[in-house]
Amino acid sequence: MRAADHRELVVVGASLAGLRAARCLREQGFTGALTIVGDEPHPPYDRPPLSKRVLSAPGRPVRPELPVPNGLRARWLLGRAAVRLDPAARAVTLADGTRLTYDGLVVATGSTARGRPPGEPPLPPGVVTLRGWDDALALRAALTEGHPLVVVGAGFLGGEIAAAARERGLDVTLVEAASQPLEGALGATAGAYVAALHREAGIVLRTGTTVEGFLTGADGRLAGVHLGDGTTVAAGTAVLAWGGVPSTGWLAGSGLAVDGGVHCDPWLRVLRTDGSAVPDVVAAGDVVRVPQPLAGGARMALGHWTNAVEQGAAAAAALLAGQDPDGTPAPFRAVPSFWSDLHGARIRSVGLPGAADETRVVEHDLTGRRLEIAYHREGRLVGALTVGRTGRLASYRRALEEHLASGTV
Amino acid sequence: MQITVDMTLCESHGQCVFAAPEIFSFDDDDRLVHEASPPDALRDKAEKSAAVCPVRAITVSPASPPTAS
């Protein structure tokens, strides 16, 4: 189907990836009807600040809204989750019963916070997760009470929440199952560096241990967290920062391949369980699970800001190109990148450090807040990470881009 | 074409440097420096840089009209 053939396009997901896809559809010449569906009542906003300044900044918190371009001309259906997709009928059903038919569809439903493992007792009041604006406001209010905070999971999100709470003067304990924070994602050297940053800031970091249960007070609220080493840490609030789960529940029964995220081909066209592409359905952002050449072709979901932006644009292009063989764009081959700001250290990364089997430390200076690590897999560069040396990332990124373009990884 | 960067917003993410190294770079202190009036041939790259900046610190505007002499 060519761009001119589309009359009605629907974007399910009103966050970064969905908004970017919508914007690019218009920029690439789509003039038909455009509907954007969002499960939250809020217009699009940016999530990275939710674990940073929204928690730590003084004064009234301001929702970090994403600008909606003037020429978007979209119909917004907010506060209504999509609950069902029927690809044969080309129809999406919303929670309030609204049925939307489409000529083309963008799936951009993102992810939700991984909560309590199934089968475990319900969580007491005071145990929370952070994903959306409402979560951030609730957590901010809890931090304002000043009680000790336990953060479970020392990944990017957990680390940033711990840092924001510490900035506000709270007693903070950060619990991590691995022997270093971010060890799986960034390796032991960067993990130890981040651990040192946390400890220097006064955070109590408990690695190599897990949460066994929650202690409650007479009022039923959280009073402490039991750890696997037999100790109990006092807590007024506990945040579970165990990562995200792609939001694919609404796609159950649609025939799409959705384990661990929506499976897509290299053009971000959504795949059925038999591996064939669904006509005129593409996906973008945290919900997507695509083969990652830098990780040896393993399917991965990347919950990063830049990934949502770049996939939003690429998915829009693929949707408008459709089945037209002359119009098929190049496969999506962007170099992943992500960042985290911890205790004044600007951690910046390109590629997939987590896919490496070897790390080469080029510079390591904790006091001067400098770090440069190159990550290799089977002798080839797959990623790089810096602190206070973002300028040096550009050449790594260029090398990765060349590897990806030439298909040598 | 004029490029302005709001340095109160810039967090040195480097996305603009990746997208348009002809316009943006970092100094030794990881502070962003940029070409204020790059040639119009770089317009696409400049606009891509603005579009991928996570903190939306970059503004691309047409060159101010030449003043009559």
- Least Cα separation, residue A220 to chain B (angstroms): 41
A334 within some domain: no
Rounded to 5 degrees, φ, ψ at A404 are -65, -40
**Last residue within a domain, chosen from A210, A240, A270:** A240
Identify residues of A whose CB sits under 8 angstroms from chain B CBs: 46, 48, 67, 305-306, 309-310, 335, 337, 339, 341, 346, 348, 350, 388-391, 393-394, 397
A184 within some domain: yes
Query: How many other β-carbons are positioned within 10 Å of the β-carbon of residue A364?
Result: 15
Q: What are the chain B neighbours of A305 within 8 Å (beta carbons)?
A: 54
Model pLDDT, residue A318: 94
- Domain extent, residue B32, equals 2-61
Q: What are the chain A neighbours of B59 within 8 Å (beta carbons)?
A: none
Q: What is the DSSP string of A307-320?
A: HHHHHHHHHHHHHH
| Of the candidates A303, A385, A374, A308, the residue with the CA atom closest to the CA atom of residue A347 | A385
d(CA A252, CA A247): 11
What confidence tier does B67 reach under pLDDT thresholds 50, 70, 90? low
Q: What are the chain B neighbours of A337 within 8 Å (beta carbons)?
A: 14-15, 18
Half-sphere CA count of B11, side-chain side, radius 13 A: 19
Q: Residue A253: exposed, middle, or buried by beta-carbon count in 10 A (0-12, 13-18, 19+)?
A: exposed
Q: For chain B, how many structural domains are there in total?
A: 1
SS3 for B50?
Answer: helix
Q: For chain A, how many structural domains are there in total?
A: 3
Task: Please name the residues in contact with A359: beta carbons below 8 A apart, sequence gap of 6 or more.
Answer: A187, A188, A189, A190, A353, A373, A374, A375, A376
Does the beta-carbon distance from A391 to B54 stay under 8 Å?
A: no
Residue B69 has pLDDT above 80, yes or no: no
**Last residue within a domain, chosen from A199, A218, A240:** A240
Q: What are the chain A neighbours of B13 within 8 Å (beta carbons)?
A: 339, 348, 390
For the CA atoms of A173, A178, A184, A186, the dihedral, rounded to the nearest 10 degrees, stands at 50
- Least Cα separation, residue A285 to chain B (angstroms): 14
Please say whether the dihedral angle defined by the alpha carbons of residues B54, A339, A196 and A152, taken in this order, is positive or negative: positive
Across chain A, which has 409 residues, the per-10-residue mean pLDDT values are 72 98 96 98 97 95 96 97 98 98 98 83 94 98 96 97 98 98 96 98 97 95 96 98 96 97 96 96 98 94 95 96 68 93 95 97 96 97 97 96 82
Does the beta-carbon distance from A337 to B11 stay under 8 Å?
A: no
- Least Cα separation, residue B69 to chain A (angstroms): 37
Joined tokens for residue A243: 């990562």
B14 within some domain: yes
B45 within some domain: yes
Q: What are the chain A neighbours of B18 within 8 Å (beta carbons)?
A: 335, 337, 350, 393-394, 397
- The enclosing domain of B51 has a CATH number of 3.30.70.20
For the CA atoms of A351, A352, A355, A357, the dihedral, rounded to the nearest 10 degrees, stands at 50
| Of the candidates A258, A257, A262, A260, the residue with the CA atom closest to the CA atom of residue A284 | A262
- The enclosing domain of A318 has a CATH number of 3.50.50.60
B13 within some domain: yes
What confidence tier does B24 reach under pLDDT thresholds 50, 70, 90? very high
- Domain extent, residue A73, equals 3-113+244-327
d(CA A210, CA A147): 21
Model pLDDT, residue A330: 82
Model pLDDT, residue A115: 83
d(CA A351, CA A333): 11
- Least Cα separation, residue A237 to chain B (angstroms): 30
**Last residue within a domain, chosen from A216, A240, A264:** A240
- The enclosing domain of A365 has a CATH number of 3.30.390.30
Does the beta-carbon distance from B12 to A348 stay under 8 Å?
A: yes
Model pLDDT, residue A13: 98
Strands A380-387 and A370-377: antiparallel
Q: Which chain B residue shows the shortest CA-CA distance from A391? A: B26
Does the beta-carbon distance from A341 to B11 stay under 8 Å?
A: yes
Mean pLDDT of all residues in chain B? 92
- Any chain A CB within 8 A of the CB of B35? no
Q: Which chain B residue shows the shortest CA-CA distance from A344? A: B11
Q: What are the chain A neighbours of B49 within 8 Å (beta carbons)?
A: none
Does the beta-carbon distance from A337 to B15 stay under 8 Å?
A: yes
Q: What is the DSSP string of A335-391?
A: PPEEEEEETTEEEEEEE-GGG-SEEEEEEEETTTTEEEEEEEETTEEEEEEEES-GG
Q: How many residues make up chain B in this entry?
A: 69
d(CA A260, CA A300): 8
d(CA A144, CA A142): 5
Residue B63 has pLDDT above 90, yes or no: no
Q: Which chain B residue shows the shortest CA-CA distance from A336? A: B15
